[in-house]
Structure 1
Amino acid sequence: MLDAVTAAPAMPRLNEPAPAFSAMTTHGPRSLADYRGRWLVLFSHPADFTPVCTTEFIAFARAYPDFQALNCDLLGLSIDSTFAHIAWVRAIKEKFGVEIPFPIIDDLSMRVANAYGMIQPGASDTSAVRAVFVIDDKGILRAMLYYPMPTGRSIAEVLRLVRALQTADKHGVATPEAWQPGEKVIVPPPKTVADAEARASAGDEYVDWYFCRRVLPAA
C-alpha cells in the first residue's frame, strides 16, 4: 500500500513550469497556453455565493486595471459550475455595482484544483482553499500563496508581489520587506571575496559588504 506521502498528488514547485490546464470558464475555453507572453494570477476560492469570496472578487475587479497595466491577467477558480459562476457574477453586479471583468474556471472535476494543490484535506476535501499562483510570461510558476478558509486575502499584496517580481527580473535586484515602486531595492550579495572588497566603492548605498541598497532609475 502506498503511504500518504507517496499517494499524494505532486505539488507545483517554484521556478518550474506551471501545470498545464484546459478548462471551460465564464468567458469560454481557456488554457495556460493562452496566456503565453503575459503574466497570470490564477487564484482559487472555496465557493460561489460566499461572503469572504465576494469581498475578494470585488477587490480583484477594482484592481483589474492595475494588473492589466503590468501585462498581467486574472483567472479565478472554484469547484462550481459555469452556471453558478455566472449567477454569482450577476449577483455581484446587481448587489454591489461591481462588474467582474475576468474569467472564472468551472472545475467540477477538480482537475485543475488538484494539479495546483488547491485541495487541502486538512481544510476541505471538496472545496479549494484560498490559493494564489503567480505565473510569468514564460509559463513559469514564480510565487504561491495559501490562505485558510475564513481569512480573506489582501489583493493589494498580490499586486505588489507581481510588481516586485517584475522589478527583480528587469533590474537583477531583490526587493526588501513591503517594497513599493520608487523605493530602494537591494543589490544581490557578492559571490567572491574580490567583489565583497569592491562593494564599498561601487556607488551604491553601502551598509556592509553583504547589504547594499540602490535607487532604480525612473521609468
Structure 2
Amino acid sequence: MSLQLGDTAPDFTQQSTEGEIHFHDWIGDSWAILFSHPADFTPVCSTELGQVAHLKPEWDKRNTKPIGLSVDGLSDHEKWDADIKDISGTNLNFPLLADADRKVSELYDLIHPNADATATVRSVFFIDPNKKIRASITYPPSAGRNFKEILRVLDSLQLTDKEKVTTPVDWTPGERVIIAPSVSNEDAEKLFPQGWEEKKSYLRLVALDKK
C-alpha cells in the first residue's frame, strides 16, 4: 500500500555516507526531506545532489534535514561524491542512503515497475518533526526536480502550521495568504487586525507581514 498524507513516515536503519542512520532518531525535532534517485553516476541526479548541497543555508533556516537515497552501494556513493564536486563545485553535506538491499525503497514504494523495474523514481517526501508525511512529489527518472518549488512547499507547510491560513496559487513567501475558511470573520478580526480583502465570503486575502 502506498503512503498517504498524514501517515507516519516508516522508520528504518540503513547505512549512509554519514554512517548508520536510524531515521526517526536522525530527524529528531527537525523537518526532513527524503528524496530518491534512480542510480549513481547519472547526469540528472548529479545536478540535483549538487543543488541540494548548495542549498544548505536554506535547509538550515527552515530547520530541515535533507537525506538522499539510491539503490547503489556505499562505495559507489563515495566515488560519486568526487564527481558531484567536479560538476557542482561542492561535496555532499547531507547523508546519502545506500539502499542496495532496497529496504527503504520498498518501505516508501519507490520502485515503479512501469517506469523502471530496478531503479527508484524521483520521489520527495516532506516529513515534519512528528514524523508525519505532510506532502510528497513524484517525478519520472527523466525529469529533474525544481528545488525552488520544494522550498516553496516547505515554506507553505511551515507557515500554515503556525497561522490559520492557506496559501494561494503560485504563492511565494511574503505574498498575501488566504484566511482559512474555518475561521469566522469575528475570529479573523482578532487574528488579523490589519484587515483583509474579501474577494468572496470564502476567499479572504491577508498580508501577514503587516500584522
TM-score by length of structure 1 reads 0.88
Matched, 1:17 2:8: yes
Cα 1:149–1:29 change in 2 (3 A) is same
Instruction: For 2:65 and 2:37, locate their aligned partners in 1 and report how far apart those are by CA, in whole Å.
Output: 17
Match of 1:125 among 117, 133, 137: 117
- Superimposed CA distance per residue, residues 124-158 of structure 1 (whole angstroms, 9 cap, x where no aligned partner): 12111000000001101001100011111101111
Instruction: For 2:128 and 2:188, locate their aligned partners in 1 and report how far apart those are by CA, in whole Å.
Output: 32
- Aligned CA RMSD, in angstroms, stands at 2.0
Instruction: For 1:154 and 1:218, locate their aligned partners in 2 and report how far apart those are by CA, in whole Å.
Output: 30
94-103 vs 174-183, which moves further: 94-103
Q: What aligned pairs does 1:49-60 form with structure 2 within 5 A after superposition?
A: 49-60=41-52
Q: In structure 2, the residue corresponding to 1:217 is in which secondary structure? A: helix
Q: What aligned pairs does 1:109-188 form with structure 2 within 5 A after superposition?
A: 109-188=101-180
Q: In structure 1, the residue corresponding to 2:7 is in which secondary structure? A: coil
Instruction: For 2:170 and 2:55, locate their aligned partners in 1 and report how far apart those are by CA, in whole Å.
Output: 18
In structure 2, stretches of 5+ residues that fail to align are none
- Superimposed CA distance per residue, residues 6-48 of structure 1 (whole angstroms, 9 cap, x where no aligned partner): xxxx211101211111100000011222212000000001001
Q: In structure 1, the residue corresponding to 2:55 is in which secondary structure? A: helix
Q: How much does 1:190 deviate?
A: 4.0
Instruction: For 2:33 and 2:182, locate their aligned partners in 1 and report how far apart those are by CA, in whole Å.
Output: 32
Match of 1:69 among 55, 58, 61: 61
Match of 1:29 among 20, 38, 44: 20
Counterpart residue type for residue 156 of structure 1: K
- Identity in percent: 37
Q: In structure 1, the residue corresponding to 2:180 is in which secondary structure? A: coil
Cα 1:89–1:122 change in 2 (3 A) is same
TM-score by length of structure 2 reads 0.91
Instruction: For 2:102 and 2:122, locate their aligned partners in 1 and report how far apart those are by CA, in whole Å.
Output: 15
Cα 1:25–1:210 change in 2 (3 A) is same
Instruction: For 1:182 and 1:142, locate their aligned partners in 2 and report how far apart those are by CA, in whole Å.
Output: 22
Instruction: For 1:124 and 1:115, locate their aligned partners in 2 and report how far apart those are by CA, in whole Å.
Output: 17
Cα 1:48–1:218 change in 2 (3 A) is farther
Counterpart residue type for residue 31 of structure 1: H
In structure 1, stretches of 5+ residues that fail to align are 1-9
**Moved beyond 6 Å, runs of 4+:** 196-200
Counterpart residue type for residue 167 of structure 2: T
Q: In structure 1, the residue corresponding to 2:80 is in which secondary structure? A: helix
Q: How much does 1:94 deviate?
A: 3.4
The aligned counterpart of 2:199 is: 207
Counterpart residue type for residue 137 of structure 1: P
Q: How much does 1:204 deviate?
A: 2.0
Instruction: For 1:77 and 1:198, locate their aligned partners in 2 and report how far apart those are by CA, in whole Å.
Output: 45
- Aligned residues of 2:27 and 2:129 also touching (Cα < 8 A): yes
Matched, 1:98 2:90: yes
Q: How much does 1:180 deviate?
A: 1.2
